[in-house]
């Protein structure tokens, strides 16, 4: 399975990430070779995602080809409207108050690179926002009024706007996120599909236990299906998988 990073100009992309192909947005859109790839992961780092922009069409065409773009078109539209489900919105508000309470000022900017922030204090908030708006690079703006922090804007940012001092961390976050861990040591054959198994080991009456999940994973492996157990904190990674199995 191919992993692509799509940028406006590959010559200006300085990061070296193993087993990842960097391709120009125009090339991805027009070169027939990319239309023939099966199930490719496409990390769309185009400069803009506005309607009918190059970045918008990269994600749109990736979906049409059966690829897995990040961000997908739904995320692009949600970012434009700052749309999030009510339950998740309440969770984000609670974490926002908790994480930002110690700050002295009334404005705060949070940079999120593949779901991570450089400061451990904002780890959970960064992951929650990434799960709601799965995009490689995000920047969230918060304002405090009457002792209450509010998310006023969240959007994608191009690589050119990533501060120089953030780039080593960004490369580490990208490499770790894009790495595909070997789930069956010693077996090197490529799997046809990737399946996410949503499992809460703390659920009292869960329909499956860890032993059953392992047996399921072994059986899936024999059929050419790679499985990975995830939990609700991995929502932003769903685009990486071909299917989701809820246990």
CB 110 within 8 A of CB 118: no
65 SS3 class: coil
Closest CA to 23 of 39, 37, 5, 38: 5
φ, ψ of residue 186 in degrees (nearest 5) = 90, -10
pTM of the predicted model, to two decimals? 0.77
Closest CA to 40 of 75, 5, 82: 5
CA dihedral 23→26→29→30, nearest 10 degrees, is -110
Statement: residue 154 has pLDDT above 90: yes
CB 42 within 8 A of CB 68: yes
Q: Give 4's contacts (C-beta < 8 A, 6+ positions apart).
A: 20, 21, 22, 23, 28, 34, 40, 41, 42, 43
Encode pLDDT of 191-208 as tens digits.
677 888 888 777 777 778
Encode pLDDT of 101-120 as tens digits.
999 999 999 999 999 999 99
């Amino acid at each position: 399975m191919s992993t692509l990073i799509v940028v406006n100009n590959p010559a200006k992309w300085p990061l070296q990430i193993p087993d990842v192909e960097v391709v120009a947005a125009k090339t991805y859109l027009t070169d027939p070779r990319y239309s023939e790839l099966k199930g490719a992961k496409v990390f769309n780092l185009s400069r803009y995602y506005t309607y009918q922009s190059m970045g918008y069409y990269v994600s749109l065409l990736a979906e049409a080809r059966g690829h897995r773009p990040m961000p997908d078109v739904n995320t692009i539209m949600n970012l434009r409207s700052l749309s999030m489900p009510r339950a998740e919105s309440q969770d984000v508000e609670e974490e926002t108050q908790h994480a930002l309470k110690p700050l002295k000022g009334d404005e705060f900017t949070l940079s999120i690179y593949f779901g991570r922030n450089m400061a451990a204090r904002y780890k959970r908030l960064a992951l929650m926002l990434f799960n709601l708006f799965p995009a490689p690079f995000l920047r969230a703006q918060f304002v405090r009024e009457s002792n209450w922090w509010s998310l006023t804007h969240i959007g994608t940012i191009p690589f050119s706007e990533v501060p120089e001092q953030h780039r080593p961390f960004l490369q580490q976050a990208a490499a770790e996120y894009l790495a595909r861990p070997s789930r069956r040591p010693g077996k090197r054959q490529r799997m046809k599909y990737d399946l996410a198994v949503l499992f809460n080991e703390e659920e009292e009456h869960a329909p499956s236990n860890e032993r059953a999940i392992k047996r399921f994973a072994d059986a899936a492996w024999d059929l050419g299906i790679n499985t990975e157990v995830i939990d609700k904190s991995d929502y932003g990674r769903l685009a990486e998988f071909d299917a989701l199995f809820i246990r």
